[in-house]
Amino acid sequence: MADSTFDIVSKIDPMELENAVNQTHKELTQRYDFKGVDARIENTSSGITLEANTEERVKAVLDVLQSKLVKRGISLKSLDTSEPAASGKIYRITGSLKMGISADNGKKITALIRAEGPKSVKATIQGDEVRVSSKSRDDLQGVISLVKGADLDIDVQFVNYR
């Protein structure tokens, strides 16, 4: 019998991200408390930029964005934001998106699986994802629940379950 496998990845659906940014922009233009505060959100290739004329308002824009991300199924662990920085009369927050599993996080995941997972399971790092294999599908399901329950600083998904 062949080994069963799955991959542990950390990815963001770009269309869901775009939808969340568009919904945030729409809410900023419609809400009364954002009138006249020059609140803006922009999605660039390097990340997301939030702007407003006060520190409290730019934090409120971030709060709106975070609520839209959660509604669209994107984990807040995938967004890394800076502190509000003044640039002239505008306060700005920049956010970068965490995509892919770094080498350090890959090592943490494989070490967790080796330490607490079933002994028949093998985990290997392949680029920015971790491949998990075993002869037993039940063991693989146990690894999925183990990784879901672990306190990792990245959002993980499980794909290519065969």
CATH architecture designation of domain 4-11+101-159? 2-Layer Sandwich (3.30)
Ranges of the chain whose pLDDT falls below 70: 1-2
Write down the pLDDT at residue 90: 92
Query: Quick one: pLDDT at residue 1?
Result: 55
CA–CA dist 99, 80 (Å, integer)? 11
- Global pTM value: 0.84
Contact criterion met (CB below 8 Å) for 123 and 110 = yes
Amino acid 2: pLDDT = 66
| Architecture (CATH level 2) of domain 14-97 | 2-Layer Sandwich (3.30)
| Spatial distance between the Cα atoms of 95 and 17, rounded to a whole number of angstroms | 13
Predicted local distance difference test score (pLDDT) of residue 63: 95
Please state the domain extents for the chain: 4-11+101-159, 14-97
